[in-house]
Amino acid sequence: MLKNRSKIKAKIKYTNQRNNQKHLVGVFRSNLYTNAYLADPKGKVLVSFSSKNEKGTKSEAAFIVGKKVGEYISKNKITSVYFNRSGYLYHGRVKKVAEGAREAGVQF
């Protein structure tokens, strides 16, 4: 399974090279927690959020993490952002992170 995810991740990275002038919202999903981070166009991580201290189900916590990332982006007036799902399917917690960021006003 890890081999398949790494292939998908490499394909996503290749197709997102055209977005080299945009900030990146990335997601990491473990068995217990969901992490999201914001990186600048050069690849430096500006801020990261985790669902470790959030209440509710895993999906609800992922939604809150996405909302926090979206609020940070809106507060700092970052306009060009793209979403990197890091080889995960756009389903479940990964989708909830994106929906939370969109609710906070981010356009991917």
Please compute the mean of the pLDDT values over residues 57-83 and round it to a whole number: 95
Residue-level pLDDT at 50:
98
Please compute the mean of the pLDDT values over residues 27-47 and round it to a whole number: 94
If you search the block for the tokens 């916590």, which residue do you land on? 61
Residue-level pLDDT at 8:
83
Residue-level pLDDT at 59:
97
- The pTM of the full predicted model, rounded to 2 decimals, is 0.88
Residue type, 81: V
Residue-level pLDDT at 19:
66
Mean of the per-residue pLDDT values of the chain: 91
How far is the C-alpha of 14 from the C-alpha of 97, rounded, in Å? 22
pLDDT bin (cut points 50, 70, 90) of residue 80 is confident
For the cut 60, the answer to whether the pLDDT of residue 2 exceeds it is no
Q: Answer left, alpha or beta for residue 23, where phi above 0 means left and psi between -120 and 50 means alpha.
A: beta
Residue type, 70: G
How far is the C-alpha of 54 from the C-alpha of 50, rounded, in Å? 8
Domain range 2-103, its CATH number among 3.90.1300.10, 1.20.1250.20, 3.30.420.100, 1.10.1370.30: 3.30.420.100
The first and second tokens of residue 17, run together, are 């090279």
